[in-house]
Amino acid sequence: MKLDQLRSFLRSTTARLAVSYLAVIMVLSLSFSFVIYKTSSHELDRQIPPSSLFTAGSGVAGDDFGYHHFFEQRADEARGRLIGRLVLLNLLVLVVGAGLSYYLARRTLEPIEDAMAAQSRFVTDASHELRTPLTAILTSNEVALRKPRLNLAQAKQVIASNIEEMSRLKLLSDGLLSLSRQDVPIDPKPISLQDCAAEAMNQVLAAAQAKHIAIDDKVPKLKVMGDAAGLTQAITILLDNAIKYSPEKSTIYLEAGKDDKQASLTVRDEGIGIAASDLPYIFDRFYRADLARTASTNGGHGIGLSIAHKIVDQHQGQLSVASTPKKGSAFTIKIPLA
């Protein structure tokens, strides 16, 4: 490792955290060593017979043979050996502790680094999504402004395209707001799944009628634990996608059922379907499958399903998908019964 690399490593958060961990380990190890030394030293002192034993009334005429000194010397030697071992032990703790501290620091920082990377990816993706409609608005306005004689019809066309792009922007900002709101936990209450489905159908009725798509609603009366507004939003997203990615005059089926603990609601369409290679990614933010890009001109920004997924997660439920390209898709929400 070059000196510069070493310096930047030492300045890194991982190194700083590792040093803090190591400092704690060493303080503990040194304190224990000190306590061990003190108690052992005290014990050794206690084992030295008192000098009076070798002098007055001891039966031994004076400490001529230096017995007391001999015991003291042995105690000092033992103390020396103890210090040597404790120093060795602390060196070992330092080496092993350094490795362990680095490992722990990496483990502590990994989830934080992942979250920061996800955050920065989100900002990049969101900025990218914002740029496309903004560039379109800017270009069409600049071109219109440069025209020496702009007639009313042309001006109206520019305004219409501006409005279209701005509604895309509004949809995106609503979606982003919705995504951030889903980080807050919900307060689940017993609610009617049938009512949520009916409300969601109401919201997409105009879009379905525009494409002459029929929605076959077979949701029975079922009570689930959840937040009515959130659940309605999740079903609306699934219905909205089903309409977007289905041909005109097709049918969308809305079905529901239950087992011991959970209710399940499925939105099934006869649309373009999703390629197996796209399936693992469709719940990711800003992901749009190629099939969808080419088939739908009024596509969104690829955040609808991630919002739906977050809402279902908040409900302690699962959102799954089964799809066959050119045949259709079925999205199923499973959430706990009330």
C-alpha distances (whole Å) from 195 to each of 209, 241, 254, 263, 324 are 21, 20, 13, 14, 30
Q: In the set 22, 165, 224, 301, which binds ligand ADP (CB under 6 A)? A: 301
Residue with tokens 């961990």: 21
From 43-51, 75-83, 195-203, 287-295, span contacting ligand ADP (CB under 6 A): 287-295
Does 336 contact ligand ADP by CB under 6 A? no
Q: Which is nearer to ligand ADP, 242 or 335 (CB)?
A: 242
Contact (CB, 8 A) for 315 and 230: yes
Residues near 123 by beta carbon (within 8 Å), at least 6 away in sequence: none
Considering the complex, what minimum distance in angstroms separates the CB of residue 245 from ligand ADP? 3
Q: In the set 287, 316, 322, 337, which binds ligand ADP (CB under 6 A)? A: 287
Q: In the set 58, 90, 203, 299, which binds ligand ADP (CB under 6 A)? A: 299
Considering the complex, what minimum distance in angstroms separates the CB of residue 151 from ligand ADP? 36
The pair phi, psi for residue 59, each rounded to 5°, is 90, -20
Does 200 contact ligand ADP by CB under 6 A? no
From 33-41, 66-74, 85-93, 304-312, span contacting ligand ADP (CB under 6 A): 304-312
Does 271 contact ligand ADP by CB under 6 A? yes
What would the DSSP string read from start to end of 75-98? HHHHHHHHHHHHHHHHHHHHHHHH
Amino acid code (one letter) for 230: G
Q: How far apart are CA 76 and CA 187, in angstroms?
A: 70
CA dihedral 215, 220, 221, 225 (to 10 degrees): -80
Q: Which is nearer to ligand ADP, 300 or 317 (CB)?
A: 300
Tokens of 324: 């066959």
Does 269 contact ligand ADP by CB under 6 A? yes
Contact (CB, 8 A) for 153 and 110: no
From 69-77, 157-165, 181-189, 269-277, span contacting ligand ADP (CB under 6 A): 269-277
Q: Which is nearer to ligand ADP, 57 or 280 (CB)?
A: 280
If you compute the radius of gyration of the chain from its CA atoms, what whole number of angstroms results?
37
Does 274 contact ligand ADP by CB under 6 A? yes
Q: Which is nearer to ligand ADP, 168 or 334 (CB)?
A: 168
Does 303 contact ligand ADP by CB under 6 A? yes
Tokens of 22: 């190591």
Q: Which residues bind ligand ADP (CB under 6 A)?
A: 241-242, 244-245, 269, 271-274, 282, 287-289, 292, 299-306, 329
